[in-house]
């Protein structure tokens, strides 16, 4: 099982104060990684750090807004100062500040969405790769979405940002392959977190999603962890540039997303 170990590795995870990012941080720490958890609010991150340490893991919290290039640079520098380098980055911090018709979205919302969901991902990779190269290789995991693969009503702007993440993943996979850095993406369907509360918190919408999902339920964060661990470890050494859909079959359904 050494192929699935993160012993001796340093992993930096954004959006790790709750939801998918927190679960990834807990999972990677259990697999032996020294973990840096990042998001905007330090108090929430400290709770995650305490849980990881309580389970015998090593973790440190750093507050950073992924829409702020200077903050991302500092996040990476502080992580290197703390643990000596970076082997794995997980770009997970994402926002969806606009629901509605794409044609009616203000330009400021385009800027906000792309700044965090796309440029934020790029910034972190750009800052972290020199350390990975110095250490002989690394892993990048970008959290995309099935909304980046098929048009989803009401979240077109978010979907565009996630489609761009999928292309970013491919381009950087090619550019970084000679440095032994694998760059892959995870495209989840609906996962029960605060982010998706508008879906599972509304009985009608939730039922429509469940009806259209072959697995007949939305995912729990834990159901993404095997894939996240695979993409972070030597087990996936020859896999790069791929976006792996994990959606209970929703994108295979003929009437994908309900009304
Ligand atoms: N849940 C789903 O159904 C679903 C489906 C497909 C894809 N995804 C993707 O999965 C990722 C994680 O989503 P989630 O469901 O786990 O969401 P979540 O529970 O709402 O967590 C979002 C995390 O991102 C952080 N964050 C938000 N804006 C940030 C910023 N500007 N800079 C730094 N951190 C920021 C939040 O912490 P702070 O508030 O402390 O900053 C929090 O830790 C996102 O990229 C999302 O697009 C989710």
Q: How far apart are CA 85 and CA 54, in angstroms?
A: 24
Q: How far apart are CA 202 and CA 197, in angstroms?
A: 8
Note the pLDDT tens digit of each residue in 223-238.
Answer: 999 999 999 999 999 9
Catalytic residue among 98, 121, 158, 257: 158
Q: How many CB atoms lie within 10 A of CB 103?
A: 6
User: Is residue 257's pLDDT more than 70?
Assistant: no
CB 13 within 8 A of CB 37: yes
Phi and psi for 27 in degrees, rounded to 5?
A: -65, -45
Q: Whose CA is nearest to atom 1 of ligand 1?
A: 191
> For ligand 1, which residues put their CB under 6 angstroms from it?
14-21, 39-41, 44, 65-67, 92-95, 116, 143, 145, 188, 190-191, 193-196
Ligand 1 atom at minimal distance to the Cα of residue 16 = 43
- In this prediction, what percent of the chain has a pLDDT beyond 90? 97
Q: Domain segments of the chain: what residues? A: 2-195+218-252
- b/e burial code for range 1-20 (CB count within 10 A of at least 16 → b): eeeeebeebbbbbbbbbbbb
What rounded mean pLDDT belongs to the chain? 96
45 CA to centre of ligand 1 in angstroms: 13
Going by pLDDT thresholds of 50, 70 and 90, the confidence category of residue 254 is: low
41 CA to centre of ligand 1 in angstroms: 12
Note the pLDDT tens digit of each residue in 118-148.
Answer: 999 999 999 999 999 999 999 999 999 999 9
Enter the pTM of the model.
0.97
CB 6 within 8 A of CB 30: no
Note the pLDDT tens digit of each residue in 176-218.
Answer: 999 999 999 999 999 999 999 999 999 999 999 999 999 999 9
* Total residues found in the chain within this entry: 259
Contacts 24+ apart (CB under 8 A), 146-149: 146/187, 146/188, 146/189, 146/245, 146/247, 146/250, 146/251, 148/187, 148/243, 149/187, 149/243, 149/245, 149/251
Q: How far apart are CA 232 and CA 4, in angstroms?
A: 8
pLDDT of residue 253: 81
Q: What does DSSP say about strands 138-143 and 88-91: parallel, antiparallel, or unpaired? A: parallel
Mean pLDDT (whole number) for 35-57: 98
User: Is residue 259's pLDDT more than 60?
Assistant: no
Q: Give the position of tokens 């009616």.
A: 104
Q: How far apart are CA 1 and CA 159, in angstroms?
A: 36
Using the Cα atoms of residue 14, residue 166, residue 98 and residue 198 in order, give the sign of their dihedral. negative
User: Is residue 25's pLDDT more than 60?
Assistant: yes
CATH code for 2-195+218-252? Answer: 3.40.50.720
98 CA to centre of ligand 1 in angstroms: 14
Phi and psi for 112 in degrees, rounded to 5?
A: -60, -45
User: Is residue 1's pLDDT more than 80?
Assistant: no
The answer to whether residue 158 is catalytic is yes
CB 5 within 8 A of CB 32: yes
pLDDT of residue 255: 59
């Amino acid at each position: 099982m050494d192929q699935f170990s993160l012993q001796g590795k340093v992993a930096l995870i954004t959006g790790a104060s709750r939801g998918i990012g927190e679960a990834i941080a807990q999972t990677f720490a259990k697999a032996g990684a020294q973990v840096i958890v990042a998001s905007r609010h330090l108090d929430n991150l400290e709770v995650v750090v305490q849980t990881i340490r309580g389970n015998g893991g090593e973790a440190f919290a750093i507050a950073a807004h992924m829409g702020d290039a200077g903050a991302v640079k500092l996040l990476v520098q502080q992580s290197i100062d703390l643990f000596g380098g970076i082997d794995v980055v997980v770009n997970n911090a994402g926002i969806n500040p606009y629901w509605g018709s794409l044609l009616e979205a203000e330009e400021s919302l385009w800027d906000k969405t792309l700044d965090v969901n796309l440029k934020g991902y790029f910034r972190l990779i750009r800052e972290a790769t020199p350390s990975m190269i110095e250490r002989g290789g690394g892993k990048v995991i970008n959290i995309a979405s099935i909304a980046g693969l098929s048009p989803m009503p009401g979240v077109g702007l978010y979907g565009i940002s996630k489609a761009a993440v999928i292309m970013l993943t491919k381009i950087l996979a090619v550019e970084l392959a000679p440095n032994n850095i694998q760059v892959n993406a995870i495209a989840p369907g609906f996962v029960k977190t605060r982010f998706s509360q508008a879906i599972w918190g509304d009985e009608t919408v939730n039922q429509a999603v469940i009806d259209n999902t072959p697995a007949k339920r939305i995912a729990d964060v834990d159901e993404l962890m095997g894939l996240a661990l695979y993409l972070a470890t030597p087990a996936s050494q020859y896999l790069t540039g791929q976006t792996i859909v994990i959606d209970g079959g929703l994108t295979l359904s003929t009437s994908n997303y309900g009304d």
